[in-house]
Amino acid sequence: MERTLVILKPGTLQRGLVGEVISRFEKRGLKLVAMKMKQLTPEILDVHYAHLKNKPFFPWLRDGMMAAPVILCCWEGFEAVRVVREMAGATNARNAAPGTIRADYSLSAQENVVHTSDSVENAAIELDRFFVPEDYCEYSSPLNQYIYAPDEK
């Protein structure tokens, strides 16, 4: 099973949307295997968003990600990276497809509710940035037989 990072951004916490967003991933059948609240720092954001450091909007992005704590989540499931990205929708929420998290809860390219890993490789890097092995909880669910076919486990 793949694992992927989802960061519920400060606006999600401030707007009281944490439960709704988490519920959407749970209802889809993804398994929450790690979660914690953290106040992000400039140092970690400079690393996390290194690919955006030279963009004119980077200072706003960094400040926005430090406006309040974030909720860091590791979701696990078959093709979890792709599934989570599709559920999140386009980065610019104004372009996100109806029914996606960003379309339902945002109108912004920056204040867009969630950060999601964009590839299996980046998911591994990002998860290592925010979680240590002891943070992960291994457990089985009797519902898996209703979520996955035998060849998808």
Task: Give residue 14's pLDDT.
Answer: 97
* Per-residue DSSP letter, 9: -
Task: Show the low-confidence residues of the chain (pLDDT under 50).
Answer: none
CATH domain 2-146 topology: Alpha-Beta Plaits (3.30.70)
Cβ-contact 9, 17 below 8 angstroms: no
Task: Give residue 153's pLDDT.
Answer: 72
Cβ-contact 117, 81 below 8 angstroms: yes
Task: Give residue 99's pLDDT.
Answer: 97
Task: Give residue 28's pLDDT.
Answer: 97
Q: Which of 115, 116, 117, 123 is catalytic?
A: 115
pLDDT in tens, 51-83: 999 999 999 999 999 999 999 999 999 999 999
Question: Is 48 a residue of the active site?
Answer: no
Task: Give residue limits of the domains in the chain.
Answer: 2-146
Task: Give residue 144's pLDDT.
Answer: 85
Task: Give residue 95's pLDDT.
Answer: 97
Q: Output Rg (C-alpha) for the chain, integer angstroms.
A: 15
Show Cβ contacts of residue 87 under 8 Å, excluding neighbours closer than 6 positions: 24, 25, 28, 100, 101
